[in-house]
């Protein structure tokens, strides 16, 4: 009873007062109840893929948005997770429930390795150097086709669950858990250090922050999440192929991340939830099927021309304002701050308004 | 085999140098990581194909028109797409990725995904040191050398070149000295894309033309530019030759080398970066705060 009252108070005082929090809550609730309401296999399939890619995009944002290590080779971690999990469950016959974690662990190792190699690189050098790693991995996979299945990849990987609904719940619940986990992490003191590293690494070091250790940790955490997504992907589609390592996937995650707005975690997730179903939906039309990538790129380009900081920061600025005194956020409809009572909109006197018009 | 390696490495190195120098130039001046750079190379190859095979113009006319057209088009793209979001680095980055995807899809839509062959500009070949070199490959080498010399001349012997180098060195000071930084950025875009377009036109008869031909040179070019040092033209040139030879050696001397050539080239880049994080000839420039 106490918890119920506490929950209700939290909901009333912390969530509903801000439109963005309400939206997030509504979205999470909608994801969880959807199969009960609308049980269409095609929709569930698209949403499952969306959830998997949302994990992937959120993990990129922790690394690129928060820490400023703009990774152009994030597909390496996705592919490492997918291939490890698929190989272990296919060749060794271990249950997918265990191999998914193994995939995440191997991706984590790769993340630490890449992070270690890139410790001294910064800015564009880091982006362009990281682009190389998945391609090196791809070259090695093609050179040893007996082990990796070459161009075809490893097919016939075991499913996690049999029904579409169960698979959907696995993807959506792990997505919610990982995304909220990453969000909490990015909001903690750890996340503040990451902001500091991105904005000024030298100053962060001068303040006594062991930046290499933080960067390595972020690489590992982000890679582990991406590897988890990759492993889920392999077991859902039942194939781990070279497409999980391609440049296209690395670029795709960069597009999702920047389109949604970097350093937000929820931005890339929102971008995946908008763009991925959109491209699938466009692809379902016969006439538009060939043009869907074109339309996708054009939409991204147009949106960016009007919202260069990304979609979610733009929307958030429209529906919320920041209190000038206490820096808390308020719904756009309020005229005074909900916490400190400061006026949110500048009260312009009549005379000033006249001057302003001249 | 040694001769094959020597010749192939030199020819590929020349093409890579044309691409990498242009990319490096635009990065140095405007700090734009132009992912669409090799997409312009692909567009030039398609324009050349259309003018030569479909319209039936001569080799010289179609190559000049293709290069000029693509260059103008790139300046237009820069004005319409890149310039409005210049302050937001991330937005510039994905704007160029989106542009490249749009070009790829447009070409896929209008020409289909087939490989298109273009007749050689020059038939026949010469034998040097026991290797037969087709004239077409000689042409690539000669054009690459001529264009790199021309680029060097523009950069180091003209007022425009002086302005470009000044802007690359320090944008704010160049602006304070009365240079029109926006116009210089546009001129740089034009020069850089013109180099890529020329590369596209000369290689079109040797390589196949297809909508995805921009991806593999893109990766190699990025490796070269990072290897040589971002923004350093000398570095790009030497990096291009190194990568050209490394690829040739891998393809000819290593089993399953065709699969591994990209991996080996990229591994060399990573190795260089480990030893020298700013690339071979890069300057570790102070971060702007």
The verdict on A61 and A201 lying in the same domain is yes
Distance between CA atoms of A7 and A16, rounded to whole angstroms?
Answer: 12
The verdict on A135 and A107 lying in the same domain is yes
How many separate helices (H) and strands (E) can be counted in chain B? 11, 2
The verdict on A232 and A329 lying in the same domain is no
Q: What is the CATH number of the domain that holds A200?
A: 1.10.3470
* CB nearest A262 (choices: B90, B218, B256): B90
Q: How far is A120 from chain B (nearest CA, A)?
A: 6
Of the listed ranges A308-312, B18-22, B111-115, the one predicted with least confidence: B111-115
Return the SS3 of A208: coil
* CB nearest B106 (choices: A138, A251, A294): A294
Distance between CA atoms of B55 and B59, rounded to whole angstroms?
Answer: 11
Of the listed ranges A30-34, A183-187, A256-260, B278-282, the one predicted with least confidence: B278-282
ipTM above 0.85, yes or no: no
B71 domain residue, yes or no = yes
Chain A residue with minimum CA distance to B257: A143
- Is the pLDDT reported for residue B33 higher than 90? no
Which residues of chain B does A142 touch, with a Cβ-Cβ cutoff of 8 Å?
256, 259-260
The verdict on A305 and A332 lying in the same domain is no
Interval B178-192: pLDDT, tens: 999 889 999 999 999
- Is A308:B86 a contact under the CB 8 Å cutoff? no
Banded pLDDT at B287 (limits 50, 70, 90): very low
| Burial class (CB within 10 angstroms; exposed 0-12, middle 13-18, buried 19+) of A30 | exposed
Closest alpha carbon to B207 in B172, B216, A356: B216
- Is the pLDDT reported for residue A248 higher than 50? yes
Across the interface, whether the CB atoms of A139 and B260 are under 8 A apart is answered: yes
Which residues of chain B does A297 touch, with a Cβ-Cβ cutoff of 8 Å?
98-99, 101-102, 105
Q: How far is B2 from chain A (nearest CA, A)?
A: 23
* CB nearest B95 (choices: A133, A291, A304): A304
**Residue B71, CA distances (Å) to A245, B74, B77, B143, B185 in order:** 33, 5, 10, 17, 14
Across the interface, whether the CB atoms of A294 and B97 are under 8 A apart is answered: no
The residues in B 230-269 lying below 8 A from A, measured between CB atoms, are: 230, 256, 259-264, 266-267, 269
Across the interface, whether the CB atoms of B102 and A136 are under 8 A apart is answered: no
* A175/B111: higher pLDDT: A175
What is the predicted pLDDT for the residue at A66? 92
B287 domain residue, yes or no = no
* Mean pLDDT calculated for residue range A33-43: 87
Domain count, chain B: 1
Q: What are phi and psi of A325, to 5 degrees?
A: -90, -55
Domain count, chain A: 2
Tokens of A111: 């993340």
Across the interface, whether the CB atoms of B287 and A136 are under 8 A apart is answered: no
* CB nearest B263 (choices: A140, A290, A291): A140
Interval A109-126: pLDDT, tens: 999 999 998 888 877 788
* Mean pLDDT calculated for residue range B119-123: 70
- Is the pLDDT reported for residue B123 higher than 90? no
The residues in B 92-151 lying below 8 A from A, measured between CB atoms, are: 93-95, 97-99, 101-102, 104-106, 108-109
The verdict on A37 and A181 lying in the same domain is yes
- Is B228:B237 a contact under the CB 8 Å cutoff? yes
Distance between CA atoms of B213 and A311, rounded to whole angstroms?
Answer: 32
Q: How far is A215 from chain B (nearest CA, A)?
A: 16
A27 domain residue, yes or no = yes
Chain B interface, best mutation among A60, A61, A129, A246, by max B CB count within 10 A: A129
The verdict on A306 and A328 lying in the same domain is no
* Mean pLDDT calculated for residue range B219-223: 88
B249 domain residue, yes or no = no
Q: What mean pLDDT value characterizes chain B? A: 86
The verdict on A163 and A296 lying in the same domain is yes
Closest alpha carbon to B105 in A358, A300, A193: A300
The verdict on A231 and A348 lying in the same domain is no
pTM of structure: 0.88
Distance between CA atoms of B226 and B281, rounded to whole angstroms?
Answer: 10
B278 domain residue, yes or no = no
Which helix (H) or strand (E) segment holds residue B17: the answer is helix B2-30
The verdict on A172 and A117 lying in the same domain is yes
What is the predicted pLDDT for the residue at A357? 45
B229 domain residue, yes or no = no
* CB nearest B230 (choices: A117, A120, A124): A124
Tokens of A45: 């399939």
B9 domain residue, yes or no = yes
A12 domain residue, yes or no = no
Residue A130's contacts (CB-CB under 8 Å, 6 or more residues apart) are A71, A72, A73, A74, A76, A114, A118
What is the predicted pLDDT for the residue at A115? 92
What is the predicted pLDDT for the residue at A358? 39
Q: Which residues pair with A321 in a beta bridge?
A: A330
Which residues of chain B does A140 touch, with a Cβ-Cβ cutoff of 8 Å?
260, 263
Closest alpha carbon to B139 in B7, B11, B9: B11
Across the interface, whether the CB atoms of A136 and B104 are under 8 A apart is answered: no
- Is A20:A319 a contact under the CB 8 Å cutoff? yes
Q: What is the span of the domain harbouring residue A347?
A: 323-358
Which residues of chain B does A131 touch, with a Cβ-Cβ cutoff of 8 Å?
219, 222
A202 domain residue, yes or no = yes
Which residues of chain A does B219 touch, with a Cβ-Cβ cutoff of 8 Å?
131-132, 135, 247
Strands B131-134 and A154-155: unpaired
Of the listed ranges A48-57, A159-168, A327-336, B125-134, the one predicted with least confidence: B125-134
Across the interface, whether the CB atoms of B27 and A124 are under 8 A apart is answered: yes
Banded pLDDT at B129 (limits 50, 70, 90): low
* CB nearest B226 (choices: A125, A142, A202): A125
What is the predicted pLDDT for the residue at B269? 85
The verdict on A22 and A118 lying in the same domain is yes
Across the interface, whether the CB atoms of B270 and A129 are under 8 A apart is answered: yes
Across the interface, whether the CB atoms of A304 and B85 are under 8 A apart is answered: yes
Q: What is the span of the domain harbouring residue B197?
A: 2-211
Interval A200-219: pLDDT, tens: 888 999 999 999 999 999 99
Distance between CA atoms of B73 and B68, rounded to whole angstroms?
Answer: 9
The verdict on A239 and A196 lying in the same domain is yes
Banded pLDDT at A20 (limits 50, 70, 90): confident
Banded pLDDT at A38 (limits 50, 70, 90): confident
What is the predicted pLDDT for the residue at B286? 47
B202 domain residue, yes or no = yes
Which residue's structure tokens are 């990129």? A60
């Amino acid at each position: 009873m106490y918890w119920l009252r506490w929950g209700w108070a939290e909901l009333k005082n912390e969530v509903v007062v801000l439109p963005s929090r309400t939206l997030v809550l509504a979205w999470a609730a909608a994801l969880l109840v959807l199969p009960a309401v609308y049980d269409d296999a095609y929709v569930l399939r698209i949403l499952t893929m969306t959830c998997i890619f949302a994990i992937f995009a959120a993990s990129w944002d922790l690394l690129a948005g928060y820490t400023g290590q703009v990774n152009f080779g994030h597909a390496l971690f996705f592919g490492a997770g997918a291939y490890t999990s698929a190989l272990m469950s296919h060749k060794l016959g271990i249950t997918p429930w265990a191999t998914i974690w193994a995939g995440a662990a191997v991706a984590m190792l790769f993340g630490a390795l890449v992070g270690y190699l890139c410790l001294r690189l910064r800015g564009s050098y880091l982006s362009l150097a990281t682009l190389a790693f998945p391609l090196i991995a791809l070259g090695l996979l093609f050179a040893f086709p007996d082990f990796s299945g070459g161009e075809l990849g490893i097919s016939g990987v075991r499913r996690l669950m049999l029904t579409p609904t169960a698979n959907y719940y696995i993807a959506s619940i792990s997505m919610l858990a990982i995304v909220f986990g990453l969000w909490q992490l990015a909001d903690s003191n750890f996340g503040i250090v990451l902001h500091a590293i991105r904005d000024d690494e030298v100053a962060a070091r001068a303040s006594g922050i062991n930046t290499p250790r933080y960067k390595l940790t972020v690489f590992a955490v982000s890679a582990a999440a991406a590897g988890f997504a990759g492993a889920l992907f392999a077991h859902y589609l039942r194939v781990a192929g070279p497409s999980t390592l391609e440049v296209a996937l690395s670029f795709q995650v960069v597009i999702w991340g920047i389109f949604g707005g970097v350093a937000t975690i929820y931005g890339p997730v929102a971008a995946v939830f908008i763009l991925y179903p959109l491209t699938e939906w466009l692809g379902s039309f016969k006439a538009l099927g060939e043009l869907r990538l074109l339309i996708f790129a054009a939409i991204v380009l147009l949106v960016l021309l009007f919202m260069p900081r990304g979609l979610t920061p733009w929307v958030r600025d429209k529906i919320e304002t920041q209190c000038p005194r206490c820096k808390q956020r308020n719904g756009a409809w309020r005229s005074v701050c909900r916490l400190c009572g400061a006026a949110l909109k500048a009260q312009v006197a009549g005379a000033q308004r006249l001057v302003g018009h001249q | 085999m040694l001769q094959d390696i020597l010749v192939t490495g030199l020819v590929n190195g020349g093409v890579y140098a044309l691409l990498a120098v242009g990319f490096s130039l635009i990065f140095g001046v405007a700090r734009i990581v132009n992912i669409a750079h090799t997409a312009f190379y692909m567009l030039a190859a398609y324009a050349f194909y259309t003018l030569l095979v479909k319209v039936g113009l001569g080799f010289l006319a179609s190559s000049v028109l293709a290069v000029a057209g693509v260059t103008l088009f790139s300046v237009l793209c820069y004005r319409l797409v890149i310039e409005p979001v210049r302050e937001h680095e991330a937005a510039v980055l994905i704007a160029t990725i989106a542009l490249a995807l749009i070009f790829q899809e447009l070409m896929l839509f209008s020409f289909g995904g087939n490989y298109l062959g273009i007749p050689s500009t020059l038939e026949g070949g010469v034998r040097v040191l026991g290797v037969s070199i087709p004239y077409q490959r000689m042409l690539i080498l000669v054009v690459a050398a001529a264009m790199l010399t021309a680029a060097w001349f523009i950069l180091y012997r003209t007022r425009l070149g002086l302005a470009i180098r000044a802007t690359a060195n320090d944008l704010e000071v160049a602006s304070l000295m009365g240079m029109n930084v926006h116009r210089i950025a546009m001129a740089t875009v034009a020069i850089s894309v013109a180099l890529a377009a020329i590369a596209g036109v000369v290689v079109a008869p040797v390589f196949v033309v297809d909508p995805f031909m921009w991806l593999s040179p893109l990766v190699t070019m990025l490796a070269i530019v990072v290897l040589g040092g971002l923004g350093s033209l000398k570095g790009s040139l030497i990096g291009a030759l190194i990568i050209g030879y490394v690829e040739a050696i891998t393809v000819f001397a290593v089993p399953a080398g065709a699969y591994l050539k990209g991996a080996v080239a990229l591994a060399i880049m990573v190795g260089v970066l480990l030893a020298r994080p700013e690339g071979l000839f890069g300057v570790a420039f102070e971060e702007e705060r």
